[in-house]
Amino acid sequence: MHGFSRLLGQSNIASKRSMILAGGAAGMAAAFNTPLAGIVFAIEELSHSFEKKASGRTLTIVVISGVTAITLMGNYTYFGHADVNIPVGTAWIAVLVCGIVGGLAGGSFAALVIRASRGLPGSVGRLAKQRPIMFSALCGLLTAVIGLISKGNTYGTGYVQAQAIFAGTDHYPASFFILKYLSMLVSYCSGIPGGMFAPSLAIGAGIGGWIEQFLLHTTPGAVVLLGTVAYFCGVAQSPLTATIIVMEICDNQQVTLALLATAFLAFGVSRIVCPQPLYTALADRFLETMDKPATPPKPLPVKQMAAPEEKLPI
């Protein structure tokens, strides 16, 4: 959308930020068939001020994106229907555990990504600047090694694994979300990341599925939802967006209060680890990089040549 704004001749910063806002919200709405989450994402995460940023054009783009996704893919839920509930009582200990763990994990990931976007330290950073192709190839090799260690579970978006965890048809050890976490981080450092939304949902589902094994008095599947919303909110630091997207992708409104409580707890923990919101930092860095004028090449040194001596005619 930033490139599209340049084609339209929009050169001021406000217009460019508005188009980035529209693109991010439209991507959220179309990727998971969650138009409401796309609108809330636009308001909460990218703009932080509805009157200032989220114009009618932005909301129109979100709606068109959602309608297009429904037309092409049908009216579906990303992870199917999850008929679970979290009764008030001892089961709410899952809210505390998932909120703290998801907030720490998501906040640390956001902090590392923001640090990497500003340049890697030491010899690794020098290699990335001086030989970017070699550095990207090494990142790809490391991602492949992580995939082999995980027996292929870290490849792709993690949709298959997350859906299996949601449905309760398969269980994964803690190594799944740890390796997926590392794989996402290495992928971003390579300069060609494959996205953060869907993998974040998979990591959150893995965290919830792992925590669920230790909480015997909780409803099966409910802790998975809490882990998902906690990690997603820890990364994005947008509690309302995280709550709504988890509600929409699993078609469940029974756990709204538990999701909200977990999301806000994860938000608070994440802000302690990473004070700056991830997507705001990345958007500012992107604009700074794209709008930076190209440095003109240094002129080649010109050797001063002495004029040939004029020979007098004989």
The CATH number of whichever domain residue 249 belongs to comes to 1.10.3080.10
Residue 297 lies in a domain: no
Same domain, 217 and 96: yes
Q: Report the domain count for the chain.
A: 2
Same domain, yes or no, for 70 and 138?
no
pLDDT of residue 305: 47
At 16 the pLDDT is 62
303 lies in some domain: no
Pairwise CA distance, residues 209 & 227, whole Å: 8
H helices of 168-217, in order, are 174-189, 197-212
Q: Are residues 171 and 200 in the same domain?
A: yes
148 and 19 co-located in one domain: no
Give the SS3 label for residue 216: coil
d(CA 196, CA 116): 15
Where a domain ends, among 13, 46, 76?
76
**∠ CA(142), CA(146), CA(151), 5° rounding?**
145
> What pLDDT does 146 receive?
94
The reported pLDDT for the residue numbered 101 is 96
Q: Around 197, how many Cα atoms within 13 Å sit in the side-chain half-sphere?
A: 22
Q: Is residue 26 part of a domain?
A: yes
End-to-end CA distance of the chain: 76
Q: Do the domain assignments include residue 294?
A: no
CA distance 156 to 158: 6
Pair 63, 142 in one domain: no
- Could you tell me the maximum CA-CA distance found in the chain, to the nearest angstrom? 116
Residues 85 and 155 in one domain: yes
Extract the residue ranges of the chain whose pLDDT is less than 70: 1-35, 45-63, 65-67, 69-70, 72-83, 87-91, 193, 220, 286-287, 289-314
Residue-level pLDDT at 107: 95
**CA 228 → CA 32, 172, 239, distances in Å?**
14, 15, 12
- Closest CA relative to residue 249, chosen from 204, 283, 185: 204
The span from the CA of 99 to the CA of 234, in Å, is: 9
Give start and end residues of each alpha helix (H) in 213-304: 222-236, 239-250, 256-273, 278-290
Q: Is 298 within a domain? A: no
- 249 and 265 belong to one structural domain: yes
The answer to whether 130 touches 120, Cβ cutoff 8 Å, is no
| Domain match, 109 and 205 both | yes
Asked if residue 159 belongs to a domain, the reply is: yes
Cβ atoms within 10 Å, residue 190: 20
Q: Residues 63, 210: one domain?
A: no
Sign of the CA dihedral running 62, 236, 182, 229 = negative
Domain-ending residue, one of 76, 110, 142: 76
What's residue 30's pLDDT?
A: 67
The whole domain housing 13 covers: 1-76
Q: Are 231 and 264 members of one domain?
A: yes
Structure tokens at 205: 């589902």
Whether 307 is covered by a domain: the verdict is no
Q: Are residues 131 and 64 in the same domain?
A: no
300 within some domain: no
Sequence-separated (6 or more) residues with CB below 8 Å from residue 67:
none
Q: What is the pLDDT of residue 312?
A: 45
Residue that terminates a domain, selected from 23, 48, 76: 76
CA atoms lying within 13 Å on the CB side of residue 30? 16
Based on the domain organization, do 101 and 207 belong to the same domain?
A: yes
Considering the entire predicted model, what is its pTM?
Answer: 0.78
